[in-house]
Amino acid sequence: MAIRLPLLLAALPFLVNAQNAIYTQCGGNNWTGGTTCVAGTTCNKFNDWYSQCLPSAIASPASSKPATTAAATTKASTSSSAPASSAAAPSASSGASGFHTAAKAAGLTYFGSATDNGELTDATYKAFLSDSSVFGQITPGNSMKWDSTEPTQGQFTFTKGDVIADLAAANGQLLRGHTTVWHSQLPNWVTSGNFDNATLTGIMTNHVSKVIGHYAGEVYAWDVVNEVLNDDGTLRESVFFNTIGESYIATAFKTARAADPNAKLYINDFSIEGTGAKSTAMINLVSSLLDQGVPVDGIGIQAHLIVGSVPTTLQENWQAMADLGVEIAITELDIRMTLPATDALLKQQATDYQTVVNACLAVKGCVGITIWDWTDKFSWVPSTFSGQGAALPYDEKFAAKPAVDAILSSLGA
């Protein structure tokens, strides 16, 4: 599978003519372009708003899939109801669009995507995000953060967060809450208030209570605290740590549990993908919290990765985390590259996405994977890392990259 797509991509220059090229749009509501795909490809309907020219081998019904298609890595642990092998693409379209369906069949709870309010004005984007065979879970990228929900002390605004929550409900998707206590995207009144310990503890618990309470019953899992560790494994200095001390973490979790007893409560961080000082510190921190009876249900691994530099110790590291008895989730996956995106980089990216998916499938307790949005059109990467981008499985024009097929292959689709 990994070989077939690059070969097709390499053949691209010879295939292009008046017909639609591979991986370009070929239909959908309001689409005025051509609807005929080049030889070797078939126009596949993703949803009412988007059809795309895909390799005919992918588009074919399950029975005609090439024997070389990778079989599912059956979820190591999980329930006996997980199929032992790939439930291969049941229709022409799902073979190209069914991340979540494939993830479920492979034993995960969900495959999801981050999103953001402004992006939802793009009808094609919104329609694909809303396809619950593709994404069974969504995360608001910004609209449940402190600066959005309590920009002025004591005045809570849930308008934007509610849009995402309502969308998840309408689509039948799980919702991840992100995030209540974080050093970043805090309003000035929090960071510059010079509050004493008791006052800031009250402010923090009120915030956690109000926000998680507002969404009680709607959120599958909350990133209760985000990025509390430094890269060397020490606790990050923040207004919360500096004023309250380490206990702010336990207090936030206890408050979250009281606000929504049914939500999974996560500690979320970056650079804890592979083994190392920060991962060890995370394991020690969660172990200590659990020993104290603090209600931590999961560790969120952000996974903002770099093409060609994915750690080799993912599975070992995630298993060590899961061995604590908590869930593991890949919460913000993207794999960036130095632009321009070449065939070689896209091929490596596909392999790297597979490495992440395979590691999650192999670890008992790894319940789901969320990509940090699905299209490069709305990726945070280019504005943060100059000269880098192309980090997501779909490009800025919504065309599938090799990573799409690679992810599906790892998931057994």
CB of 252 to ligand 9MR, least distance (A): 16
Contact pick of 297, 332, 376, 405 for ligand 9MR (by CB under 6 A) = 332
Report yes or no: 200 and 189 within 8 Å, Cβ to Cβ. no
Q: Which x/- pattern over 166-205 shows residues binding ligand 9MR (rule: CB under 6 A)?
A: ------------------xx--------------------
Report yes or no: 294 and 254 within 8 Å, Cβ to Cβ. yes
When the beta carbons of 298 and 412 are compared against ligand 9MR, the nearer one is 298
Residue 256: C-alpha distances to residues 67, 175, 190 (Å) = 49, 16, 19
Find the catalytic residue in 119, 327, 332, 396.
332
Q: Which x/- pattern over 297-316 shows residues binding ligand 9MR (rule: CB under 6 A)?
A: -----x--------------
| DSSP code for 119 | G
Contact pick of 27, 28, 107, 141 for ligand 9MR (by CB under 6 A) = 141
Q: Assess whether 332 carries a catalytic annotation.
A: yes
Q: Which two tokens stand for residue 37?
A: 């795909």
CB of 349 to ligand 9MR, least distance (A): 18
Alpha helices in 226-342 (DSSP H): 239-244, 247-259, 277-291, 314-322
Q: Which x/- pattern over 359-388 shows residues binding ligand 9MR (rule: CB under 6 A)?
A: ---------------------x--------
Query: 175 φ, ψ to 5°?
Result: -120, 130
When the beta carbons of 141 and 311 are compared against ligand 9MR, the nearer one is 141
CB of 394 to ligand 9MR, least distance (A): 16
Residue whose token pair is 């110790």: 313
Q: Which residues have CB under 8 Å from 383's CB, separation 6+?
A: none
Strand partners, 304: 334
When the beta carbons of 64 and 184 are compared against ligand 9MR, the nearer one is 184
When the beta carbons of 269 and 405 are compared against ligand 9MR, the nearer one is 269
Report yes or no: 72 and 354 within 8 Å, Cβ to Cβ. no
The amino acid at residue 379 is S
Hey, how many other C-beta atoms are within 10 angstroms of the C-beta on 72? 22
When the beta carbons of 6 and 187 are compared against ligand 9MR, the nearer one is 187
Strand partners, 50: 47
Report yes or no: 137 and 108 within 8 Å, Cβ to Cβ. no
CB of 99 to ligand 9MR, least distance (A): 19
Task: Decide: is 271 part of the binding site for ligand 9MR (CB under 6 A).
Answer: no
When the beta carbons of 78 and 117 are compared against ligand 9MR, the nearer one is 117
When the beta carbons of 373 and 405 are compared against ligand 9MR, the nearer one is 373
CB of 413 to ligand 9MR, least distance (A): 27
Hey, how many other C-beta atoms are within 10 angstroms of the C-beta on 116? 17
Residue whose token pair is 């779909």: 394
Cα 326 to the center of its chain, rounded Å: 19
Residue 395: C-alpha distances to residues 248, 254, 346, 375, 404 (Å) = 40, 41, 11, 5, 11
Cα 25 to the center of its chain, rounded Å: 24
Contact pick of 142, 143, 315, 375 for ligand 9MR (by CB under 6 A) = 142
CB of 27 to ligand 9MR, least distance (A): 30
CB of 388 to ligand 9MR, least distance (A): 13
State how beta strands 25-27 and 388-389 pair.
unpaired
- Give the residue numbers marked as catalytic: 332
Query: Which residues are at the interface with ligand 9MR (CB under 6 A)?
Result: 141-142, 184-185, 226, 302, 332, 380
